């Protein structure tokens, strides 16, 4: 392991506006900058912020101070005072690991070990791909504590290699203590591309340059389902990225699978991932904007037995929510035309700003208004390694409809 930074931290006393106090009492982990009415002097990112209530000066919660984020304090501990130290982190990591145990009985060695706030680590993600652990930081609050956290993450995951990833925002803004995005902080990384298993299917992820930590683990259960439905079917995987759905479908016995993505690089990964598994199906790729390409396929009267549409988050900002909803409606309409009679349309959303209820309603309305008839088969949400500890953590929803 490389030498991780030694950074002194202080404890800060904090008082909040009443609405924020109420939110803390409900154990919401975020405190925004405007909510703070009193804070002791010269706070630094990573300092321990202790929230006291206004009336009785009683301990409410404690967390970490983030000078460079509007979410100024990320809370870790509620109600009962605790010392935030190595033991505290070890306990949280062990609890998180226990929660994931059922996955290991499914021929899967890739999982999210730590999902940010929901596992007690706001702004920290730890994904495991076989023997490689990838830790991604979204906030500088963690720098003083890396030396307490990394060894335990490596121990429980039994990783031989650990890669550090830093969010783009962090790379631009923060003091990085000589650490950098893509740094191997423990062990040795033979190839940027790491091979791992998801429900018995082999995949590869580029842990240095891939999106997020290299792959999207959140849809594991949906991909398995598509694999099971795909025998002798034709499948269109829209926004395929590295081919998560495509490869499960091929391995499940699909006749043909078409992966569509705007990124040529993503489709190269999808092609490579398909070759890692034995199958007899044909794999086609389309490098294009999804909206344009789907219209073109409709124009050519193309239809598929299964159409999966899993776009990127359309609402990264609150101001984009209406546009995102409109895009979901357009995709449902396009998908409706591309599914064959008796076929299955799968629509997913990973925008946390669009609620599951809204997403399902928009999709259902678009399908009801189409010239076809659809029956809702199933709704699915997060797999078990993406637990939902507070409302904003719930981002993934996925609906299955049958064209009847």
**Contacting positions for ligand SAH (CB under 6 A):** 216, 219, 239-242, 244-245, 261-263, 266, 289-290, 310, 312
Cα–Cα distance for residue pair 201/249, rounded to 1 Å: 10
Cα–Cα distance for residue pair 143/258, rounded to 1 Å: 43
Cα–Cα distance for residue pair 96/98, rounded to 1 Å: 5
Half-sphere exposure of 226 (CA within 13 A, CB side): 37
Helix (H) or strand (E) holding 315: none
Cα–Cα distance for residue pair 296/170, rounded to 1 Å: 40
Q: How far is the CB of 242 from ligand SAH (least distance, A)?
A: 6
Q: Which CB, 393 or 398, lies closer to ligand SAH? A: 398
Q: Which residues contact 257 (CB under 8 A, 6 or more apart)?
A: 230, 234, 235, 236, 237, 246, 249, 250, 274, 281, 282, 283, 284
- Contact by Cβ (8 Å): 234, 223: no
Q: Which CB, 49 or 338, lies closer to ligand SAH? A: 338
Half-sphere exposure of 382 (CA within 13 A, CB side): 20
Nearest residue to the partner ligand SAH, using Cβ: 244
Q: How far is the CB of 82 from ligand SAH (least distance, A)?
A: 37
Q: How far is the CB of 117 from ligand SAH (least distance, A)?
A: 22
- Residues 309-342 as b or e (16 or more Cβ within 10 Å = b): bbbeebbeeeebbeebbebbbebbbbbbbbbeee
In terms of Cβ atoms closer than 10 Å to its own Cβ (0-12, 13-18, 19+), residue 30 is: buried
Q: How far is the CB of 158 from ligand SAH (least distance, A)?
A: 25
Q: How far is the CB of 235 from ligand SAH (least distance, A)?
A: 12
Q: How far is the CB of 374 from ligand SAH (least distance, A)?
A: 21
Q: How far is the CB of 262 from ligand SAH (least distance, A)?
A: 4
Cα–Cα distance for residue pair 52/123, rounded to 1 Å: 23
Q: Which CB, 140 or 244, lies closer to ligand SAH? A: 244
First to last CA, the chain: 57
Of the candidates 110, 130, 321, 324, the residue with the CA atom closest to the CA atom of residue 218: 110
Angle at 360 between CA 356 and CA 364, to 5 degrees: 175
Q: How far is the CB of 310 from ligand SAH (least distance, A)?
A: 4
Q: Which CB, 143 or 196, lies closer to ligand SAH? A: 196
Q: Which CB, 93 or 103, lies closer to ligand SAH? A: 103
Q: Which CB, 66 or 310, lies closer to ligand SAH? A: 310
Cα separation values, 356 from 88, 369, 386, 395, 398, Å: 33, 20, 16, 8, 9
Q: Which CB, 156 or 348, lies closer to ligand SAH? A: 348
Cα–Cα distance for residue pair 176/160, rounded to 1 Å: 24
Helix (H) or strand (E) holding 20: helix 18-25
Q: Which CB, 292 or 375, lies closer to ligand SAH? A: 292
Q: Which CB, 48 or 249, lies closer to ligand SAH? A: 249
Q: How far is the CB of 162 from ligand SAH (least distance, A)?
A: 23
How many Cβ atoms are within 10 Å of 141's Cβ, its own excluded?
A: 30
Q: Which CB, 36 or 236, lies closer to ligand SAH? A: 236
Q: How far is the CB of 164 from ligand SAH (least distance, A)?
A: 22
């Amino acid at each position: 392991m490389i030498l991780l930074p030694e950074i002194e931290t202080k404890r800060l006393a904090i008082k909040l506006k009443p609405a924020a106090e109420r939110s803390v009492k409900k154990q919401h982990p975020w405190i925004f900058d405007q909510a703070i009415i009193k804070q002791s002097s010269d706070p630094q990112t990573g300092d321990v912020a202790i929230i006291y209530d206004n009336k009785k000066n009683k301990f409410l919660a404690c967390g970490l101070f983030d000078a460079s984020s509007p979410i100024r304090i990320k809370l870790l501990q509620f109600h009962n005072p605790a010392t935030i130290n190595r033991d505290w982190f070890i306990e949280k990591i062990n609890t998180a690991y226990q929660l994931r145990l059922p996955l290991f009985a499914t021929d899967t060695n890739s999982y999210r070990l730590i999902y940010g706030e929901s596992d007690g680590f706001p702004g920290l993600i730890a994904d495991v791909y076989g023997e490689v652990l990838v830790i991604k930081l979204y906030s500088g609050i963690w720098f003083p504590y890396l030396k307490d956290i990394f060894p335990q993450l490596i121990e429980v995951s039994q990783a031989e290699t650990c890669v550090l990833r830093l969010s783009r925002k962090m790379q631009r803004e923060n003091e990085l203590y000589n650490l950098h995005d893509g740094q191997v902080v423990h062990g040795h990384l033979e190839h940027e591309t790491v091979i791992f298993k998801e429900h018995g299917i082999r995949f590869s992820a580029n842990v240095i340059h891939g999106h997020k930590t290299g792959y999207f683990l959140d849809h594991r259960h949906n991909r398995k389902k598509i694999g099971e439905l795909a025998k002798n079917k034709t499948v269109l995987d829209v926004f395929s990225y590295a081919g998560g759905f495509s490869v499960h479908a091929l391995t499940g016995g699909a006749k043909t699978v078409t992966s569509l993505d705007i990124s040529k690089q993503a489709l190269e990964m999808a092609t490579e991932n398909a070759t890692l598994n034995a199958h007899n199906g044909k794999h086609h790729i389309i490098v294009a904007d999804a909206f344009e390409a789907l219209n073109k396929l409709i124009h050519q009267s193309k239809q598929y037995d299964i159409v999966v549409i899993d776009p990127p988050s359309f609402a990264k900002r609150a101001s984009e929510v209406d546009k995102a909803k409109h895009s979901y409606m357009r995709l449902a309409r396009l998908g409706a035309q591309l599914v064959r009679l008796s076929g299955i349309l799968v629509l997913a959303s990973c925008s946390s700003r669009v609620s599951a209820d809204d997403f399902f309603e928009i999709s259902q309305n678009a399908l009801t208004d189409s010239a076809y008839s659809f029956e809702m088969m199933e709704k699915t949400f997060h797999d078990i390694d993406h637990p939902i500890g507070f409302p904003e953590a719930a981002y993934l929803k996925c609906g299955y409809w049958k064209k009847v």
